[in-house]
Amino acid sequence: MKTVFARTPTLKDCPTHYCPGCGHGIAHRLIAETIDELDIHGRTIGIAPVGCAVLAYNYLDVDMVEVAHGRAPAVATGMKRTNPDKIIFSYQGDGDLAAIGTGEIIHAAHRGEQITVIFINNAVFGMTGGQMAPTTMLGQVTATTQQGRDAINEGYPLQVSELLALLPGAIYVERCALSSPAQIRKAKKAIKHAFELQVSGAQGLSLVELLSSCPVYWRMTPVKAMEWIEKEMTKVFPLGQLKNVTCAP
């Protein structure tokens, strides 16, 4: 009699290293659920970030590779072009994608690379001590903006999704939040659509930005951090689809 072994779900059953209230764990689960539902477990290759989620490969049971800080889109480009049958995604924080990796993500989108990008925006450098990030908001206190970010001294927060949506090679850009069950369900739908586009063979880059909490460096409780996303972050980073060329006009 033939023995059939059940496939292990993509999300590994292991202890987490993330701080209480951190959004990375939620994002990992949404990605894992999407991979399982689309039945692409054996075809998927992920790129882990440099940052708090540097150990993402400990939680996602798919082939993954660690790359230099900010270079995930460049590596994803090479991986997809040499393995067009694989589903390639990068998982990047704001320090990884919007700071040292700004040039990489802009040019990958401009070229229309057929990859999926999950962009975690918590408006701060979490791994290195809570310094100001490109996405830190005006007035936000960080380790390097003790009086709050000031436009004259530190410039304005970088709105990555709006920037990428202008490029013809980006076919799908949506910003969601991980701040409530309702918002998490919307985030799951967006992530799944982004992966579906690549599975279908659609030519172009898809990016889903997720507003995520960092209670430790926001100096808030997990509950207050979730409320802060909804009350403050969404003013600077409005939720919703910024681009979806797959939709009828």
In the chain, where the domains are located:
24-244
Q: What is the pTM assigned to this prediction? A: 0.94
Give the integer Cα–Cα distance in Å for 179 and 166: 27
What is the full DSSP assignment across 70-99? T-HHHHHHHHHHH-TTSEEEEEEEHHIIII
Cα 186–chain centre separation = 14
Which tokens in the block code for residue 239?
């939720």
CB 40 within 8 A of CB 87: yes
Cα 60–chain centre separation = 14
- Of the candidates 223, 89, 129, 241, the one whose C-alpha atom is nearest the C-alpha of residue 176 is 241
Which tokens in the block code for residue 73?
């889109």
Contacts of 62 (CB under 8 A, 6+ apart): 10, 35, 41, 44, 45, 46
> What is the dihedral angle through the alpha carbons of 6, 11, 14, 20, rounded to the nearest 10 degrees?
-150
Q: Please give the chain's pLDDT, 249 residues, in tens.
A: 444 444 568 999 999 999 999 999 999 999 999 999 999 999 999 999 888 889 999 999 999 999 999 999 999 999 999 999 999 999 999 989 999 999 999 999 999 999 999 999 999 998 778 789 999 999 999 988 999 999 999 999 999 999 999 999 999 999 999 999 999 999 999 999 999 999 999 999 999 999 999 999 999 999 999 999 999 999 999 999 999 997 544
CB 12 within 8 A of CB 58: yes
Which tokens in the block code for residue 19?
């701080």
Check residue 247 and give its pLDDT. Answer: 57
Fold classified for 24-244:
Rossmann fold (3.40.50)
Which tokens in the block code for residue 49?
């970030």
Contacts of 230 (CB under 8 A, 6+ apart): 177, 179, 180, 183
